[in-house]
Amino acid sequence: MLKSKGARDACALWVPWGKAMRAGLMACALLVGLQLAGLREAHAATATPYLEDMTSVELRARIDAGATTVLVPIGGTEQNGAHMALGKHNVRAHLLAGRIAERLGDAVVAPVLAYVPEGRIAPPQAHMRYTGTISISDATFEALLESIARSLRQHGFRDIVFLGDHGGYQQDMVRVANKLNRDWAQHGDAARAHALRAYYAASQAEYAAMLEARGFGADEIGVHAGLADTALTLALDPALVREAQLGPEAPKPGSGTVGDPRRATAALGQLGVDHIVDASVQAIRALRGAR
């Protein structure tokens, strides 16, 4: 039964008297249901934390309403052994940034930066020795970060937070944030850039300590595509992990894996996911409170 007076009034024109009343009521209920579904879809579109899913007008309204913190997730396109997809860092950074923004309640998430320093290209070094890795120079990466931050600042964001899911460019993030903050401070600008080291610390050393406390060894936890790395990915997007490749034998030297992912589970990964989100939210709130 339609309880809203407005809905009853709106349907009055659609409900014929006499024997056709039941059919008219059913048609009216269907119409109202479709309208409500449309409203829910519109709300879902504007409630997303992701900048790229909004229209320019929706984002402007969000900023004007007080969402002046923007998270810039930084991933990387690199080999992850035989069992994990090349875009692991990009997907993780995207999803984790979204959860952090939702917890903050007044933040949005910029598109993931997927191109980062991964080692010398020719002759190949580090991850570039494996098919699919894409590398750029530190100078190019820092110039990209600076332009991204300045663009976001131009639109009214006041706290631009770099979230780096990969270890190789953490110092680049710090250099760019320091450069931007010096420049903005000289011009009396209240905007600030932040290289959120707490995010990476939570996903690496702190998460590894949590796993060690549960009886896993450092050699198994690893530092790249091992148990910790794989478990985090299983918790966020299991489609990125080729579990058929996690056979009975430990990864061989030169396989691109540093660690042993065979006992990784989504449940173990969820421990890390929760910790990364908690630590990042706490650190961002502290940074904003210190302005």
User: Which three-class secondary structure string do you get for the chain?
Assistant: CCCCHHHHHHHHCCCCCHHHHHHHHHHHHHHHHHHHHHHHHHHHHHHCCEHHHCCHHHHHHHHHCCCCEEEEEECCCCCECCCECCCHHHHHHHHHHHHHHHHHCCEEECCCECCECCCCCCCCCHHHHCCCCCECCHHHHHHHHHHHHHHHHHCCCCEEEEEECCHHHHHHHHHHHHHHHHHHHHCCCCCEEEECHHHHHHHHHHHHHHHHHCCCCHHHHCCECCHHHHHHHHHHCHHHECHHHCCCCCCCCCCCCECCCCCCCHHHHHHHHHHHHHHHHHHHHHHHHCC
Asked if residue 75 has pLDDT above 70, the reply is yes
Homologous superfamily of 51-289: Creatininase (3.40.50.10310)
pLDDT score of 22? 57
Q: Is a pLDDT exceeding 50 seen at residue 164?
A: yes
Residue 290's pLDDT is what?
Answer: 74
Listed range (33-42, 53-62, 261-270) with the worst mean pLDDT:
33-42
Model pLDDT, residue 37: 45
Does residue 6 register a pLDDT over 80? no
pTM of the model: 0.84
What pLDDT, on a 0 to 100 scale, did the predictor assign at position 18?
Answer: 54
Share of the chain above pLDDT 70, in %: 84
**Domain range annotation of the chain:** 51-289
Q: What is the pLDDT of residue 4?
A: 45
Length of the chain measured in residues? 291
Please give the average per-residue pLDDT across 223-227, as a whole number: 97
Q: What is the pLDDT of residue 247?
A: 87
pLDDT at 175 over 50: yes
Task: Supply the pLDDT for residue 33.
Answer: 52
Closest CA to 134 of 184, 172, 89, 170: 89
- pLDDT tens digits, residue range 90-116? 999 999 999 999 999 999 999 999 999
